[in-house]
Structure 1
Amino acid sequence: MKMLPSVVVPGHPDFDELDRIRLGLLDIAGGQSVIQAAFPHAVRDAIDFVLDPIRTGRTELRELDNVEKTFVGLKIEHYVRDFLGAPKGIRDLVIGNRDVDIKNTLDNSWMIPPETYRDEGPCLVINSKEEESRCWMGVMLAREAYLNAPNRDGKRGVKSGAVEHVLWLVEGVEYPPSVWRAFEMAAFRELRKLQPGTARAAEFFRQNLRTVVPREVAEALLFDQKDPMKRLRGNQGARDVLRIEGIALLSGVYGNRVLAQLDLPWLSGDEFIAIAPRTEEERRILRAENAID
């Protein structure tokens, strides 16, 4: 389904009702900026929840079967309801005394049930395109003119050209790509068996040089450690193990000055990277900063 720019503006027959719902959503959510920030992360979290990379090794939506893709949609709906904080009524949400259905699709048509299109009721429609890492959320009315013929279950898909009758709240905003795509998951899961934790952490960074490692990945790697971050630090942690081998283990808390000298991107406070020098100049910089022996 191609996402089209909205034609729902003052004077459009749906504008008044959809704008009331839009303003109601903004009010309970805390404003447009809150929705713009929270919604993309809700999409990412829902996808990763169903992919379950640590247990299954899967990191992309195309690896899911059709039933699991349905679960992604349900999880997105749950997360959206949670961050909006809207009460549940006869339908999925109550916005300004109006029952609103939530309908999600992973790039297909939204399927509207009879109880909603019978009264041309409002829907909060959601679309996410994993290949683009972009997401959309808006409100529309389930009008007869916007819908295809019913399927065997009585549900009706939204016509491709009717997408322009959606009033968008979030339009084509990027959501975070999966942090797990950067790692070979079969090796990751095998490595989680290695003991002790410090040796496991050191080997992981040897296998993933110059790859930014978010804290959540490190914690998943060291899932059985009481203090997983201790295994990454000095004082007999992975940093000391790797330093002797000429590999610098840097974090966003202390390592960004070194990374700037190496002309590498800065890290957030919850990210790590292991650098084995490729040139004598890199070796000189890392030794000068006491990052390697």
Structure 2
Amino acid sequence: MQLVKDWIQDLPVADLYTDSIRNAIDYVLDGARTGRFDLLSPEVHPGERASVGAKLEYEVLRNFELPKTKPLDTHIVGIPVDIKATVGSNWAIPTEAHCQLCLCTQIQLKNNRHRTWLVRAHTSWLYRGKGNKDGKRGLAVDARDNWSIPLYDWTPLPINPLRYLSEEAAARIFAKKPGQTRRLLMMFRELEGHIIPRNAILTVGAGNDDPMRRARQVRALAEKEGLMVLCGDWLDSRDIAATRGINLRAGEWIALKEESEAGAA
């Protein structure tokens, strides 16, 4: 357990998990096809929310550069480790992981945060009984709190900026008309000052051709309204954002008021 802990804690664990969880949620929502952007929306089936954990396993393997191996999910310094996650309050520990090391992540969607423990899933620490039909059993809360190793404290989970839209604004932005260029302009106008990831643009343009090209076309329209639409893929945009104290990364967009207008305000 100490060897695995030492290996993990040499890495930016919280950041890697944050990225992994965000990617897993985006994958489940599939916004580019469905137009969905909120995992707690009634449009999302509870089974889909639960599947975030299954997808997260592969995102963690990718971000931590770990192999997919048997008998559990991976090996860390030659030691078998299972990767578990829940959007609820407990995990379903499979029989093959009983008494084995597990990375257990809890995602609180309502509070937009997450945390992860390294746990030895002793059978004496699992809830009594046969468990579910697959023999999976939950981990006792006192075992989690007293005999596991927290890898990082509660860490914020980035909020999809589309969730900041009012119901009225969202209805206009996701309507079939006007065309997606105009609707993307509405989005930038409503979310002025918010960093907008590429996935949010694909979600607004769900079902349409080349939303990213339409986003680039928004720049000229936005300028007429005194808005600068910046993209982290462009060096000049990154430089402009930096002058405002904003670190705009590749794939990220932001709409900012022109300096003169901002100063007048």
Assess same fold via TM > 0.5. Answer: yes
Gaps of 5+ in 1: 1-17, 287-293
Q: Which has the larger radius of gyration?
A: 1
How far does residue 22 in structure 1 lie from its aligned partner after superposition?
A: 1.5
The residue aligned with 2:15 is: 37
The residue aligned with 2:209 is: 224
Q: Distance in 2 between matches of 1:174 and 1:157?
A: 25
How far does residue 69 in structure 1 lie from its aligned partner after superposition?
A: 1.9
Amino acid at match of 2:91: W
Count of equivalent residues = 243
Amino acid at match of 1:75: K
C-alpha deviations, 1:98-143, integer Å up to 9, x for none? 21111111132111122221xx111111111112222112211111
The residue aligned with 1:177 is: 159
Report the TM-score, using the length of structure 1 for normalisation.
0.70
How far does residue 40 in structure 1 lie from its aligned partner after superposition?
A: 0.9
Which structure 2 residues correspond to residues 39-54 of structure 1 after superposition, within 5 A? 39-53=17-31
Q: Structure 1's 177 and 198: CA in aligned 2 closer, same or farther, altered over 3 A?
A: closer
SS, match of residue 99 in structure 1: strand
Percent identity over paired residues? 21
> Is 2:30 aligned against 1:67?
no
Report the TM-score, using the length of structure 2 for normalisation.
0.76
How far does residue 71 in structure 1 lie from its aligned partner after superposition?
A: 1.1
Q: Distance in 1 between matches of 2:253 and 2:195?
A: 6
Q: Structure 1's 134 and 209: CA in aligned 2 closer, same or farther, altered over 3 A?
A: closer
* 8 Å CA contact retained: 1:116, 1:122: yes
* 8 Å CA contact retained: 1:116, 1:142: yes
- Runs ≥4 residues deviating over 6 A: none
Which structure 2 residues correspond to residues 180-195 of structure 1 after superposition, within 5 A? 180-183=162-165, 184-191=169-176, 194-195=178-179
The residue aligned with 2:8 is: 25
Which structure 2 residues correspond to residues 56-205 of structure 1 after superposition, within 5 A? 56-61=35-40, 63=42, 64-87=44-67, 88-117=69-98, 120-150=99-129, 151-153=131-133, 154-163=135-144, 164-183=146-165, 184-191=169-176, 194-195=178-179, 198-205=181-188
SS, match of residue 28 in structure 2: helix
Gaps of 5+ in 2: 231-236
